[in-house]
Amino acid sequence: MTKTRLFRLWLVLGSVFMVLLIIVYWDNVGTAHFYLQTSFPRPHPLEPLPTPGHGAEKEFTSDVDAFLQKLLGGGLKQSPLSGKRPEQPSVPASSRPGLSNAEESVRGYDWSARDTQQGPDPGGQQAERRSVLRGLCANASFVFPTKERSFDDIPNYELNHLIVDDRHGVIYCYVPKVACTNWKRVMIVLSESLLDRGTPYRDPLDIPREYVHNSSTHLTFNKFWRRYGKFSRHLMKIKLKKYTKFLFVRDPFVRLISAFRSKFQLENEEFYRKFAVPMLKMYANRTGLPASVSEAFSAGLKVSFANFIQYLLDPRTEKLAPFNEHWRQVHRLCHPCQIDYDFVGKLETLDQDAAQLLRLLKVDKVLHFPPSYRNRTASSWEEDWFATIPLAWRQQLYKLYEADFVLFGYPKPEHLLRD
């Protein structure tokens, strides 16, 4: 019995020692040499995409899960997310979404090609954006909620917007209403995480929208805990250090207008039941509301923009639940003071920024961002949309989103904040 216990103890100590060796190796070499995100099996190999910083000839193909299993002799419990994922049903290639999807059509997509040739960082734009961001995060006089917390203090569920591509060493924090549908499509192509008739997608526009926003399609930071347990946060930090991290932002007030138009001016059953019905009851004094959004729209019952602003400003809203991702502040989605982003893109300069980013990732020869997104919600509309909103509400709303305005270099909308 004593020998058996000693043997087990040596096994445990040996396993812990090997894990520590792995961690030290990752710290020194980087997890870019391990391909954590297992693709769906495919019947025949494709040409590998070039890898940023390591040359087009090198592909990350090692599987860290299998590696850990071998080193620990099977002692590491395999989670549902580990190893091969079951293959999803083949998804037929869709027609261009701008021609067939009502929401994308209303939001104003334009697929026309535009010339985006430019230097590596035209005018030092990226350097300036990152410098402003870092300076404000280090400035003790600029304060907003959650600014001072560490990365370890961020709850797991708040890391669900960080999409990881281990094949190319890329992390993308997606922000709804900022071309995230197409950037998610790009990440699917890069990571080869979705198949079309047994073959990974090569053209982002061929990926149907319903699969783009399916959370199971993407590997995100919040899934690490189920796969790596207590080592998950350490792995995240290594990836944040080694990988290229990017996000895209937008004028905060224009993003709110876009969210309102998309979710409340179009028939959306989920948003009607979860948000529109409570707003209409609380801020429009409506009772006996229809059960479905189509019935409500037929009866002329729609949330007004003023109702939406009231909802955002109501202190009870955040007490019940955090803001929905479509109107949650960017600094709460992407944690820019805890994560040192390598690239900060803007919707206002999307064509140029997208081309520049793909060159930075060294994938511009094999992949192109879907041609120019043009959203009809423009900053010039702000005065019209806010014309019926009381001045006091506008000022409160600015305070609510001030950190996003300042961090990402958007000018304070003085014309909306004074008489």
pLDDT 10s digits, 60-106: 333 454 444 444 344 333 333 333 343 444 444 444 444 344 444 44
> What mean pLDDT do residues 227-247 have?
96
Tens digit of pLDDT for each residue in 164-175?
A: 999 999 999 999
Domain ranges in the chain are 2-71
22 or 151: which leads in pLDDT: 151
Any idea which of 23-32, 50-59, 353-362 has the lowest mean pLDDT? 50-59
Q: Which two tokens stand for residue 337?
A: 């003071």
- From residue 262, alpha-carbon distances to 69, 162, 376 in Å are 46, 23, 11
> What mean pLDDT do residues 190-213 have?
93
- Residues in CB range of 270: below 8 A, 6 or more apart: none
Share of the chain above pLDDT 70, in %: 69
Compute the distance between CA of residue 340 and CA of residue 243 in angstroms, rounded to an integer. 11
pLDDT at 252: 97
pLDDT at 369: 93
* Residue 391 burial (CB count, 10 A): 12
48 or 311: which leads in pLDDT: 311
Compute the distance between CA of residue 360 and CA of residue 53 in angstroms, rounded to an integer. 9
Burial class (CB in 10 A: 0-12, 13-18, 19+), 393: middle
pLDDT at 37: 43
pLDDT band at residue 224 under the 50/70/90 scheme: very high
Closest CA to 240 of 317, 187, 162: 162
pLDDT band at residue 6 under the 50/70/90 scheme: low
Residue 146, classed as helix, strand or coil, is: coil
Mean residue pLDDT across the chain? 80
